[in-house]
Amino acid sequence: MHIRTLTGSLAAVLVLSTPLLWGGQAVAAPSGAPEQTSAARLLTYDTSGSAEFRAAVDRGAAIWNESVDAVELRPAASGQRANIRVLADNGWPRALPTTLGNGTVYIGRQAVNQGYDTIRISAHELGHILGLPDRKPGPCSSLMSGSSAGTACTNRYPNAAEKAEVEGNFAGTRSGAPEPAERTGSAGPVPQVALIGD
């Protein structure tokens, strides 16, 4: 995963420069000073219901982690309520986002049986949870083109525009702490649900 940092060198320059401007004494920052990072928004996912697609889901999450800085997808710890639930079924792949970063993904066997790449399906459906819409028809170079790129397309990576859109969706929401999974019930607002297919 990419992490943007304010390097120790830049911090040291700032520490050294400010006192000199006012006639004070400059003091060097310790050489082992930790770098400051802008932590990604952490989202957890649960693959306990993803059957034979567990490895494909893990790889799809890793692809997003390699591709963007603003969000990080991690498997949920045992007993932890996950932001994203991933299930396998016999239908067509789809995502049911509830709010940005929360929802349910179905890895449908229908598309897999037709020859679509399971990791591309996984990364595509996780893209919906990260706020991306389908882009149909689309070229294979677009992850969000989904099935319109055909079964020969095995591109599993978002293009530059898709990466930028996810970065924008999560800008200002970075925390580094796990994002609480959305709770349902009368205590909070009712989430809007959208069925987003391949």
Residue 167 falls in the annotated catalytic set: no
Distance CA(136)–CA(150), nearest Å, equals 11
Taking each helix axis from N to C terminus, what angle separates 118-129 and 54-67, rounded to the nearest 10 degrees? 60
* Residue pair 193/96 in contact by the 8 Å Cβ criterion: yes
The pair of structure tokens assigned to 188 is 């909070």
For 66, 86, 131, 139, 148, the CA distances from 116, given in Å and listed in that order, are: 22, 18, 22, 15, 11
Q: Which of 35, 52, 66, 125 is catalytic?
A: 125
Q: What is the DSSP letter of 178?
A: B
Rounded distance between C-alpha atoms, residue 2 and residue 6, angstroms: 13
> Can you tell me the distance from the alpha carbon of 41 to that of 133, in angstroms, rounded to the nearest whole number?
20
Catalytic residues: 125
